[in-house]
A and B are shown apart, each in its own frame.
Chain A
Amino acid sequence: MNDFSYSRPTTTTEAIQTLLSHPDALYLAGGTNVIDHLKLGVVTPSQLVDIRHLGLDKISTDAQSVTIGAGATNSAAAYHHEIQTHFPALAEAILAGASPQLRNVATTGGNLLQKTRCTYFRDIHSACNKRQPGSGCAALEGFNRSHAILGTSDACIATHPSDMAVALTALEAVIHIQDQSVVRTVPIEAFYVSYGEDPAKENVLKPGDLIVAIEIPRTAWAGHSRYVKARDRSSYEFALASAAVAVDVDAGKIRNCRIALGGVATKPWRAHAAEAALVGQSATPVAFRAAAEAELASAKAQKENGFKIELCKRVMVKALQEAAEMRRA
């Protein structure tokens, strides 16, 4: 681990100012991703700016939405009564990720910004465009069983690892970002950018930008939402394929739905094609399967991860079935 200094600001302005005046400093929230990367040499900051003392850990609710402070722990969010009751897919997604120990310190903001688990990204001796732009992508010809089938490019095929972000994408969360002068809001779908040429650029954050909160709107479908995750072991493992689904079913017909996929794409993947295929349809397994086929039509398999295409379809169908049943219950 390289040497670095540690600071503990108590206001957001101080924290942002410190980052702006030290471009190679990093925010430190729960630290479960940053400290891991420090040990691997993936990041070598001059300073860690501890943002756990900025009062960003509140979870508040009103008639329109629930707002989770960026510093609220994953455990606090997952066990929050309002979130469990009205946004079940979010609670399920968080609890399907990492371990209790990690969730007890990992924060909402840190979770959104966690980096890919691609082995080559984590090995500083490998070629990796995401870690070292222009160095190539070792995964294209290497071990790529866990890599993405949607949104890939010749530059990078890594998946975004977060479960929570998938649920937040289906629930159309809005990210509140503070800079030197203002707090702006960005819908989560626009927050994560497509890789294109530069896989190192994953989101719209500018230097110094601090995520302060994540707001989730109340909708007719959020309460009937499910998160289904398939992985290599039954717990404490990243997704091979996952789906967050929210549906509004009326008299057997799908009035509205939101679907997002995880473990299969380079960013939390909003399944617009599947949604379009479902609206107005009867909530039947046949319709669910057709929607899954529509979404995965553009999937591109690598040498080792072709199985994810069928796996993802089945995960989607299961999530849709479960969510539709909640509606009837």
Chain B
Amino acid sequence: MYGMAHRALRQMMLDRLGPSVWAKVERETGTGPADLISLCVYDDSKTIALISASAAHLGMEVDEALRVFGRYWVRFAELSSFGPIMDFTGQDLVTFINNLDRMHRSVVLAMPDARVPSFTLIDETRERLLVRYRSDRTGLETFVIGLLEGLMDRLNETGTVELVDRPGTAIDFAIHLDRS
């Protein structure tokens, strides 16, 4: 996974547990500044090691930590120097999800080894968005739930996200919006 994820994780751990715990995570996983370059693509095993070590310090299961991290990630991206790209992607949930693939496709033009997912809005009602997620990675379900929750936070929506189906290799998430 790309270094921006590692940077975001570092920032989350710094916010939550302070520099000494992050230093331990770095020590435990043999991580240094060279693993924290935003647009460098690193082997997924590095990312997994970082997340599991962080989860242990947070006292969470890896899945729970992934979800918390996904939610945090969106806030990190908007506050980081990638904020303008987030703005460019959209200012409401439907537009944002519809534009996500175009944004990812543009971003990875400069990152040949990156493997970006695809998000398609397959059904939309006032109170429910059905999002189909396709990826050649597995095991990131709770991360995606966290990301979608983070997007709701960012775009002034409240609601819940639920994994509803696994058609073939895709995964469908329902976003239930608190709109009355």
Q: Do A and B come from one complex?
A: no
